[in-house]
Amino acid sequence: MATENRINFWRRNAKVPGRYPKDTKLKFNNLKSKKASSFHEFARSTNDAWDIDDEEDEDFLGTPAPASTLPSGLHSTSTQNQPLQNQAGDTENRMSHKLAFPSSEAQNLQDVQEDDADCEHVNGKVVKSNSEAHLNSSSVHSTLQKQQSLPVRPIIPLVARISDQNASGAPPMTVREKSRLDKFKHLLASPNTDLEELRKHSWSGIPREVRPITWRLLSGYLPANKERRELVLKRKREEYFGFIEQYYHSRTDEHYKDTYRQIHIDIPRTNPLIPLFQQPVVQEVFERILFIWAIRHPASGYVQGINDLVTPFFVVFLSEFVTEDVENFDVAALPLDTQRNIEADSFWCMSKLLDGIQDNYTFAQPGIQNKVKALEELVSRIDEDIHNHFKKYEVEYLQFAFRWMNNLLMRELPLRCTIRLWDTYQAEAEGFSHFHLYVCAAFLIEWRKEILSMVDFQGLLMLLQNVPTIHWGNEEVGLLLAEAYRLKYMFADAPSHYRR
């Protein structure tokens, strides 16, 4: 019976990756007056949200997408969505201590709070994290009305600066920051870029001006030899659009229509609060990227969660051509060749990332199962109180950590924080496949006080699925990475510990 309830949980849980109910407020029907104190009680009283909104997409294949296989640069795609503004008040859940650890990364992390070389102050807007995705339209409208009478806070750009975005104002670039940016430019301009040195400098964050080229290099998409880069870019971009011409027309074929249907359903649910990702031209780009990747990787095909992994690459490569607010930028205004280049580069870099974690998405997702088990073992060793608290209230790690591994914490962090996190992941050896485990452990321990204060299953699971990170910036991410590095240094080679 317990096993059956655990299996049915995933069909009942409205927070399964890739699934967004119509009403953004999570609903629980027929709850007893007594709080659910166990997984079984919670499972019996929770709505089945697995198939919500799917029926409205059942017949979308009857009106297939336009036959064109290239970005529709002539079509107007600006949305009418009004951007959500930052809420007043500073974050209350700040990490209260810094951690010291060996090697060159230690010095890099000391610079995290000072570095502000990413970008100039622009009129960006807050990107809402999953923790605030349950605001309904009326409450948002009320909040915006109240904010008009509040003192103006610094506006947070989508691609966050290296410094804390909650600081008052946008300080000018310091001598240290300019020196750091110059080091990146010097490394990138050399005939053969020293990738080890580039990784060392990238660990504590990459300046916005050089992030696109740095990500291309660190992902393995571009060669270190400067003279070869243009030829490689030209060849890989042509190769990608060759795949489009060869395969994309088959999306409505019997063999592939289910894959395309699922992609078509999931794309509008990708960062639904950010206007950029609701533009038709952007959604068409994502559909092409995901469909081509799926049919070229039949061992896994498309799995919900992979759609999220395109977004950081797309935003970073888009920022190379946009100086204003990225989250509201009309992508159709860019030249067609630029749109094509952003699309192709996003495809190849996402492919490089997935090459290292593909066992997360093959049948039964064994990679995720192993990582969740490893997280449970690690937490039991670093914080026995939390581990025993979960056991007491029958919380299983798979019930919250599956999404952490499947989506690489992208549903738990604002996009600006994910981009900063990925700077370090790409600088770390096996960053996405191995270091991510320690980041998840550090992320869990960050909410230790709140976890231990919850004394029922429902409260614990809701906390772990809706962590309040909306005000997080580079300072919080830097401290999270520092703690993750400390855990890795202490436990990676410990006896019986998980090794990839």
Domain boundary assignment for the chain: 175-355, 366-492
Residues 6+ apart with CB under 8 A from 422: 215, 312
- 294-302 contact pairs (CB < 8 A, 24+): 294/259, 294/263, 295/247, 295/250, 295/256, 295/259, 296/243, 296/247, 297/354, 297/358, 299/358, 299/362, 300/358, 300/361, 300/362, 300/363, 301/259, 302/259, 302/262, 302/263
Residue-averaged pLDDT of the chain: 76
CA dihedral 316, 318, 321, 327 (to 10 degrees): -100
Are 69 and 247 in contact, with CB atoms under 8 Å apart?
no
Q: Supply the Cα-derived Rg of the chain in whole angstroms.
A: 22
Residue 457 DSSP one-character state: H
Q: Could you confirm whether domain 366-492 is CATH 1.10.472.80?
A: yes
pLDDT digits (tens, 9 = 90+) for 219-256: 999 999 999 999 999 999 999 999 999 999 999 999 99
Q: Note the pLDDT tens digit of each residue in 108-144.
A: 444 444 444 444 444 444 344 443 334 344 443 444 4
Q: In this model, does residue 31 exceed pLDDT 70?
A: no
8 Å CB contact between 436 and 384: no
- Residue written as tokens 């073992």? 377
Amino acid in the structure at residue 202: S
Give CA torsion, residues 151, 152, 153, 156, to 10 deg.
160
Phi, then psi, of 192 in degrees rounded to 5: -130, 105
6 pLDDT higher than 60 = no
Q: For residue 300, report the phi and psi dihedrals to the nearest 5 degrees.
A: -115, -40
Tens digits of residue pLDDT in 374-406: 999 999 999 999 999 999 999 999 999 999 999
DSSP 101: -
Instruction: Read off φ and ψ for residue 450, nearest 5 degrees.
Output: -65, -40
